[in-house]
């Protein structure tokens, strides 16, 4: 089969100074839903995630915990970051660690090329550094401290004192790329999304770009520069390169050509690294810039970014242990517009679980499957003559499928789910109005009953396919209960862009039992 349109998507790679909270899981799920959608649509999809393990922040955390940085990162990856993938049902194709040999060797090749081509020089440097951000801070992000930090300069993001660093560094000639970057943002208005993120990046670069310090010499937890091993590569340059080292830069050119360029999904706090520094590095190396950079919003707690350092993190398993991974995925993708900030609340989660997943979708699926079993011995009947109400359901399915796919193209995951949910609402209304239980009491209405239940079951078929990227566990159960595997193949093999085409469910398939897809929470505990 010819490979489909390429779709390579990445998450940020996460600092392993601590365990993941739901903000990290949110970033992972957003990329996963997009990847699953494209994969199911037949696009040549690749989803990459991983961990960012070098630099001073990790080194200090490890030391404070009495471990070497390598021991620390190995432990955190094995005990917290790998398990997270299962907790939230990630379908990543690869997981890269910046301590992987494949990464380190390709990073050295990349940085040597920039050095050989004259993009790197040595100079004395001094500036205020935030270890939390792993960044020399620009003037606009430096504040005067108060309280315990009175008299000191603090980071606007972390609120903690900045450190004055004075050392000999290697620099990347980033200032040379200002015009090329501005041209890029102009020629490709959707290179940075959403619009607010793009405006911020354009304003930043328009002010002028400075060269970038890309090495550190006062500690050694990083990748040594090939031409001067007394320096390690700046952790952000090391980290950004994961997006190309993981797909074979410098090692497997065929795979690299097949995958690159990528769409990067990143928190808005790290937008500048991805939309300014990263394309500048790629341009210097003569590589294509990313396909796009999409800035996601923050999960807020009490109006502030949920964070490890402020101890406001909630572990993803606190939610999934009670509600399950599907509900986690659905809730965050539905309740928050990707690109905007959002607040998490247990009340909102529980309310949506009950109203939308349990009563809305789960109950619809149970009712329809149960009625096919009761009135037709489990055999999906062929549709008889169709009426306007049946046609309206078919039209809703077609329109919703098209609208959802168009929304996914714009990274508007929340809109895609809302579009698909139109089918849930319309089908629930349809079943209530057609009253199949009343039709079943009248032998002369047998044909009408068949049409109504075929229509409802065919609607469920479309829902299973369209919702599988978001709630893969529940839709797999539904697919199996619909008994269509033999006739249509596995759920994952259903072409998503055909999901809205009416009539794919063959009459005559035998439905099975369907346990509650979203059980009452009291029962699930």
Catalytic residues: 21, 24, 130, 133, 155, 158, 305, 308
Residue 181 or 306 with smaller CB distance to ligand ME8: 306
Report the chain's terminal Cα–Cα distance, integer Å: 45
Q: How far is the CB of 478 from ligand ME8 (least distance, A)?
A: 30
Number of Cβ within 10 Å of residue 378's Cβ equals: 16
Q: How far is the CB of 55 from ligand ME8 (least distance, A)?
A: 9
- Print the binding letters for residues 233-252 with ligand ME8: x by CB under 6 A, - otherwise: ------xx------------
Residue 26 or 172 with smaller CB distance to ligand ME8: 26
Q: How far is the CB of 238 from ligand ME8 (least distance, A)?
A: 9
98, 133, 249, 251, 284 from 119: Cα distances, Å: 23, 25, 19, 22, 7
- Helix, strand and coil content of the chain, in percent to the nearest 5, comes to 55, 15, 30
Q: 456: exposed, middle or buried (C-beta count within 10 Å: 0-12, 13-18, 19+)?
A: buried
Does position 271 bind ligand ME8 by CB under 6 A? no
Residues, the chain:
525
The DSSP string of 66-119 is: TS-HHHHHHHHIIIIIHHHHHHTT---SEEEETTSHHHHHHHHHHHHHHHHTT-
Does position 267 bind ligand ME8 by CB under 6 A? yes
Interacting span for ligand ME8 (CB under 6 A) from 250-258, 296-304, 365-373, 462-470:
296-304
Q: How far is the CB of 314 from ligand ME8 (least distance, A)?
A: 10
**Among the listed residues 498, 525, 368, the one whose alpha carbon sits nearest the alpha carbon of residue 434:** 368
Element (H, E) at 426: helix 413-434
Interacting span for ligand ME8 (CB under 6 A) from 6-14, 60-68, 199-207, 474-482:
6-14
Does position 270 bind ligand ME8 by CB under 6 A? yes
Give the one residue of 8, 9, 23, 400 binding ligand ME8; rule: CB under 6 A. 23
Running DSSP on this structure, what letter comes out for residue 200? H
Beta strands in 263-333 (DSSP E): 263-267, 292-296, 299-301, 304-305
Q: How far is the CB of 15 from ligand ME8 (least distance, A)?
A: 4
Element (H, E) at 510: none
Residue 220 or 341 with smaller CB distance to ligand ME8: 341
Q: How far is the CB of 159 from ligand ME8 (least distance, A)?
A: 15
3-state SS class at 213: strand
Interacting span for ligand ME8 (CB under 6 A) from 11-19, 317-325, 360-368, 504-512:
11-19
Q: How far is the CB of 134 from ligand ME8 (least distance, A)?
A: 8
**Among the listed residues 400, 398, 393, the one whose alpha carbon sits nearest the alpha carbon of residue 428:** 393
CA distance 137 to 506: 62
Sign of the torsion angle spanned by Cα atoms 136, 140, 141, 146: positive
Does position 13 bind ligand ME8 by CB under 6 A? yes
Q: How far is the CB of 170 from ligand ME8 (least distance, A)?
A: 20
Does position 15 bind ligand ME8 by CB under 6 A? yes
Q: What part of residues 32-91 is at the interface with ligand ME8 (CB under 6 A)?
A: 52
Interacting span for ligand ME8 (CB under 6 A) from 177-185, 262-270, 349-357, 405-413:
262-270
CA distance 32 to 19: 20
Give the one residue of 59, 111, 262, 266 binding ligand ME8; rule: CB under 6 A. 266
3-state SS class at 348: helix
Interacting span for ligand ME8 (CB under 6 A) from 74-82, 116-124, 196-204, 299-307:
299-307
- Per the listing, tokens 């960044």 go with 135
- Print the binding letters for residues 305-324 with ligand ME8: x by CB under 6 A, - otherwise: xx------------------
Q: How far is the CB of 257 from ligand ME8 (least distance, A)?
A: 22
Does position 292 bind ligand ME8 by CB under 6 A? no
- Cβ distance 510 to 378 under 8 Å? yes
Interacting span for ligand ME8 (CB under 6 A) from 21-29, 253-261, 386-394, 451-459:
21-29
Dihedrals phi, psi of 365, to nearest 5 degrees: -60, -45
Residue 24 or 216 with smaller CB distance to ligand ME8: 24
Does position 26 bind ligand ME8 by CB under 6 A? yes
Q: How far is the CB of 453 from ligand ME8 (least distance, A)?
A: 43
The CA-based angle 448-450-453, given to 5 degrees, is 110
Residue 24 or 367 with smaller CB distance to ligand ME8: 24
Residue 15 or 119 with smaller CB distance to ligand ME8: 15
**Among the listed residues 175, 165, 162, 176, the one whose alpha carbon sits nearest the alpha carbon of residue 124:** 165
Give the one residue of 40, 245, 296, 317 binding ligand ME8; rule: CB under 6 A. 296
Does position 184 bind ligand ME8 by CB under 6 A? no
Q: 247: exposed, middle or buried (C-beta count within 10 Å: 0-12, 13-18, 19+)?
A: buried
Residues that bind ligand ME8 (CB under 6 A): 12-15, 23-24, 26-27, 52, 239-240, 266-267, 270, 296, 298-299, 305-306
């Amino acid at each position: 089969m010819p490979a489909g349109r390429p779709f390579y998507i990445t998450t940020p790679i996460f600092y392993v100074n601590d365990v993941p909270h739901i903000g990290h899981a949110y970033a992972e799920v957003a990329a996963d839903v997009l990847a699953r959608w494209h994969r199911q649509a037949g696009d040549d999809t690749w989803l990459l995630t991983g961990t960012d393990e070098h630099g001073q922040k990790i080194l200090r955390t490890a030391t404070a915990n009495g471990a070497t940085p390598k021991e620390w990162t190995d432990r955190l990856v094995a005990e917290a970051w790998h398990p997270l993938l299962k907790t939230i049902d990630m379908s990543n194709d690869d997981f890269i660690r910046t301590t992987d040999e494949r990464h380190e060797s390709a990073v050295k090749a990349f940085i040597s090329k920039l050095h050989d081509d004259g993009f790197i020089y040595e100079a004395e440097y001094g500036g205020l550094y935030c270890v939390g951000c792993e960044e020399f801070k620009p003037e606009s992000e430096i504040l005067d401290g108060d309280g315990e930090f009175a008299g000191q300069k603090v980071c606007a993001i972390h609120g903690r004192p900045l450190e004055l660093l004075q050392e000999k560094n290697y620099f990347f000639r980033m200032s040379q790329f200002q015009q090329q970057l501005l041209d890029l943002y102009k020629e490709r208005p959707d290179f940075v999304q959403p619009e607010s993120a793009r405006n911020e990046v354009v304003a930043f670069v328009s002010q002028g770009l400075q060269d970038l310090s890309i090495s550190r010499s006062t500690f050694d937890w990083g990748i040594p520069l090939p031409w001067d091993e007394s320096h390690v590569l700046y952790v952000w340059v090391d980290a950004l390169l994961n997006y190309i080292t993981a797909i074979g830069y410098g090692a497997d050119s065929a795979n690299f050509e097949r995958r690159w360029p990528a769409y990067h999904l990143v928190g808005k706090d790290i937008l500048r690294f991805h939309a300014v520094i990263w394309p500048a590095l790629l341009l210097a190396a003569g590589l294509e810039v990313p396909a796009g950079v999409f800035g996601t919003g923050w999960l807020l707690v009490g109006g502030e970014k949920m964070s490890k350092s402020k101890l406001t993190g909630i572990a993803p398993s606190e939610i999934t242990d009670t509600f399950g991974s599907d509900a986690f995925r659905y809730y965050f993708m539905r309740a928050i517009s990707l690109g905007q900030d959002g607040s998490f609340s247990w009340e909102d989660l529980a309310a949506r679980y009950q109203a939308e997943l349990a009563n809305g979708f789960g109950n619809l699926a149970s009712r329809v499957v149960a009625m096919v079993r009761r009135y037709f011995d489990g055999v999906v009947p062929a549709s008889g003559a169709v009426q306007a109400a049946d046609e309206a359901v078919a039209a809703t399915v077609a329109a919703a499928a098209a609208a959802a796919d168009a929304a996914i193209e714009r990274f508007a995951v929340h809109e895609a789910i809302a579009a698909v949910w139109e089918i849930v609402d319309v089908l629930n209304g349809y079943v209530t109005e057609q009253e199949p239980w009343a039709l079943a009491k009248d032998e002369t209405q047998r044909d009408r009953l068949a049409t109504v239940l075929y229509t409802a079951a065919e609607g469920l078929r479309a829902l299973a396919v369209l919702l599988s990227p978001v709630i893969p566990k529940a839709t797999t159960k539904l697919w199996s209960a619909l008994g269509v595997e033999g006739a249509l193949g596995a759920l994952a093999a259903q072409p998503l862009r055909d999901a809205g085409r009416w009539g794919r469910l063959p009459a005559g398939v035998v439905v099975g039992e369907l346990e509650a897809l979203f059980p009452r929470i009291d029962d699930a505990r």
